Amino acid sequence: MSDFDVAVIGGGMVGAATAIGFAKQGRKVAVVEGAKLKPFSPEQPLDIRVSAISEHSVSILTELGAWNAIQSMRVCPYRRLETWEHPECRTRFHAESLGMEQLGYIVENRLIQLGLWQQLESLDNVTLYCPDTLDDIIFGETNQVKLSSGQSIFAELIVGADGANSKVRQLAGIGITAWDYRQHCMLINVETQLPQQDITWQQFTPSGPRSFLPLASLHIDGKESTQGSLVWYDSPSRIRRLSAMSSVQLREEVLVHFPQELGDIKVLQAGSFPLTRRHAQSYSANQCVLVGDSAHTINPLAGQGVNLGFKDVEVLLEVTEGKDALSQSVLAQYERKRRPDNLLMQSGMDFFYKGFSNDIAPLKLVRNAALKMAENTGPLKAQVLKYALGLK
């Protein structure tokens, strides 16, 4: 048995960031993660799970000492963002309007995790339990964490960074408010004929948005392969039909249902998942605290999920810095600071999602007029973009 100040359950992007932050505070940290990471190699195909990393998240990752390692693998900066329903009613954002080089980066989730783990493995006060998983928690003056391997560790604080179906959350007795969006989301990695690596765009349709995220280009057999990630929201039945198609059949469907901006494509790989909103009724209990998807999941409409998770980490580290005891009152400060922001982003994404997911003529007229007006709002448009990018 080993004693730790903090045991982080889940070594994904947000969990690994949390562990590094606590270790940099001088605390003794354990990280429990169920799967070992495959090392990076430049010729590997791009993963299907990617995130739109904001400049604010980049600053957090830089502070944690991980961004250089992530950037040295492969990232795709994007400078422009466009959203529309009717092609003539668009809202456009550009990095130059904020005096920035780029709005953010599209990065494979696995590479963010790899960069963080490089930093984790260099820290003397971090112990990695991998591959291993949480079996049970025996709550007491110091919580006992029982692992599936049969090992046990004791920790003053347990961090639940184990995802939307968090076992830490369940064992700590924290309830959730949740609902199903009755939609699934399909991710499709494609090779594109058109060079469009500096823009991410999204078109709203009554059955759900169609989005494009630029990906880092690969060099295959001496040639540059320009790639992107398509995001297709639709009914569960429609996504199931698309998932059963061959790459050739799926390409034909994409060319029919995505806007002409995409151009011709070759389908490389695809996967899908259901959309569900969750929000923990409390962020802490029984000396357990939740971060990232364990505390809240969000409609992935604007790719904000992991950015909210990194902001959780930032605030949790702020309120615990210099504190000897990681008490419930300290954890309550974390929740007071983070819950309103997480709830606002969840509600904002739901407003857009529900507002555009119908074909009612008067509503279509109003929302397209709103998008066209938003294009010319100047300072207000800049403020909205700054908030979305985590700069406010």
Domains of the chain, first to last:
183-275 (3.30.9.10)
Main-chain dihedrals φ then ψ at residue 127, nearest 5 degrees: -115, 125
pLDDT for res 260: 92
Phi, psi of 13 (to 5 degrees): -60, -50
pLDDT at 366: 45
Q: How far apart are CA 75 and CA 63, in angstroms?
A: 18
Q: Enter the pTM of the model.
A: 0.92
Q: 3-class SS at 127?
A: strand
* Total number of residues shown for the chain: 392
Q: Which residues of the chain have pLDDT under 70?
A: 1, 301-304, 349-392
**Residue 183: what pLDDT?**
85
Residue 169 token pair = 């959350």
Structure tokens at 149: 């391997």
Q: How far apart are the first and last CA of the chain?
A: 44
| Chain segment 62-116, per-residue pLDDT in tens | 999 999 999 999 999 999 999 888 777 788 889 988 889 999 999 999 999 999 9
Report how far residue 341's alpha carbon sits from residue 95's, in angstroms, rounded to the nearest whole number: 23
pLDDT at 350: 62
Asked if residues 272 and 48 have their Cβ atoms less than 8 Å apart, the reply is no
Strands 199-203 and 80-84, how do they pair? Answer: parallel
Q: Which of 37, 48, 168 is nearest to 106 (CA)?
A: 48
The pLDDT score that the predictor gives to residue 362 is 44
pLDDT tens digits, one per residue of 7-44 = 999 999 999 999 999 999 999 999 999 999 999 999 89
